[in-house]
Amino acid sequence: MPDPDALSAEQERTWLLFVGVMMWLPVELDAHLERSAGISHTEYGVLRCLSVSEDREVHMSRLAATANVTPSHLSRITARLEKRGWLTRSSDPGDARRTLARLTEQGASVVTRTEPQYAAEVRRCVFEHLGDEQARQLEDIAEALLTPLRADCVRLLAPRLPG
């Protein structure tokens, strides 16, 4: 008698394939960014997040949540990026207990230079293997899964396109 609480065979296969993508796609993208730009996938994600935000500025707490890192890990990441001149940190003038990270012109230039190579790698690893309908389905599935977990990330990083 099958366990009613267990995943079905189809759910188990789907889940294992999805876990494989979650594990190995970031590793592939991380290696590409290290080779092409000398930065990690997480560092690029922090810079990219700042580049798409209003005034290229985000509170560190929100940045940590969006990058899915602990505040102390984000502190180490931003210290490395700050040392390279790619971002600055300062107290929020409206609330001195909060720290703002701000992308510098040099950091924006890194994002601008890196974005085309990163996009090409994402196309190679993901979209070249999907048809148009599969890509739309992937978008819908990703949004359906991410929204209840991190709606703030969906709003910040992937706002709905017009049309």
Q: Are the beta carbons of 103 and 87 closer than 8 angstroms?
A: yes
Q: What's residue 154's pLDDT?
A: 77
Alpha carbon distance 47, 115 (integer Å): 11
Q: Are the beta carbons of 63 and 74 closer than 8 angstroms?
A: yes
H helices within the chain, ranges in order?
A: 9-37, 41-52, 60-67, 71-83, 105-125, 132-157
Q: What is the pTM of this model?
A: 0.83
Q: Are the beta carbons of 113 and 37 closer than 8 angstroms?
A: yes
Q: What's residue 157's pLDDT?
A: 66
Alpha carbon distance 129, 71 (integer Å): 36
**What fold does the segment set 31-113 form as a domain?**
Arc Repressor Mutant, subunit A (1.10.10)
Per-residue pLDDT of the chain (163 residues; tens, 9 = 90+): 678 889 999 999 999 999 999 999 999 999 999 999 999 999 999 999 899 888 899 999 888 888 888 989 999 999 999 999 999 999 988 888 899 999 999 999 999 999 999 999 999 999 999 999 999 999 999 999 988 988 877 776 666 766 5
Q: What's residue 65's pLDDT?
A: 83
Structure tokens at 49: 């997040």
Q: What's residue 149's pLDDT?
A: 87
Alpha carbon distance 31, 14 (integer Å): 26
Domain boundaries, the chain: 31-113, 126-157
